[in-house]
Structure 1
Amino acid sequence: MSVTGQQILKTLSLFDPIEWIRTSSGRNPVEGYTQSPHVAWRFADGGDVEIARLIETLVRNSPTENDWTLDYSARNWLLAPSRVLNECSSDNISFRQAVMRITLSDPDFCELANSDLALIISRLQDYVMNTEGREDQTR
């Protein structure tokens, strides 16, 4: 199961307006292989720590097959499988190099990670929708 860039944008926009986003998920449209997914984005107002911690908690509590990391230490936030970030630091390679190496060498991981991302996005969307529903009931 895979999620589209449009679905990811729509879901993250429920937390705060998005100024910029780049996603990679599903199959590579040219080569046809399943990619290691990740999402990089910037909230229009830069985002805040409360939103970051909420998203981080929702990601951590999602029943995924792999561990995921939300890095919000820079202007652009990054959500990616922890394995990718671990390979960057342990092998002293760029994020792009780690993504390509994993994409080309471990298609099973990529399939599971794409399912994870779809689950994470669904969980984020459900949280916002359920929270808004409760707020509407208390008004």
Structure 2
Amino acid sequence: MHADHFSVTRVMIDGGREICVRLAGDLDADARTVLRRELYDAVHDNGAPLLVVDLQETAFVGSETIGALLDGLVRAQEAGKAVQIVNARGVVRTVLQVTGVLDLFGATAESSARLAAFDGGAVLPLPPAPALPAHWGRAAG
């Protein structure tokens, strides 16, 4: 999914053993719903045991993005998937470290190097997915 200031793309990596959600641009409140949908689909519509969130092209993460990442982490763990955040740099890495989010996701130099070397791939088609739980679309408060 692409918007004017962000994109979220899902790809299969390593022969289907990993599903990667690549984030790019400024992920603010506008990205929340799209990111939650992509993470939900990444967890539920494939058998990959590892979900990787690649932040190499991400310039900004807002609190809404952090909330969506945490929701995705919980959903992946409930589904028995391992989760990693890779390639978080600069202010994005700092924000994720300060908030404690980076510590919740496993991140290894090996996985970052493998993804950096991966030159892309076919974007997964978006098959019909189960409806999101009603509370996913509501604002907190």
TM tier relative to shorter chain: 0.3 to 0.5
Q: How high is the TM-score relative to the length of structure 1?
A: 0.37
Higher RCO (CA < 8 A, seq sep 6+): 1
Write 1 or 2 for the structure with the bigger share of strand.
2
Q: How high is the TM-score relative to the length of structure 2?
A: 0.37
Q: Which has the larger radius of gyration?
A: 1
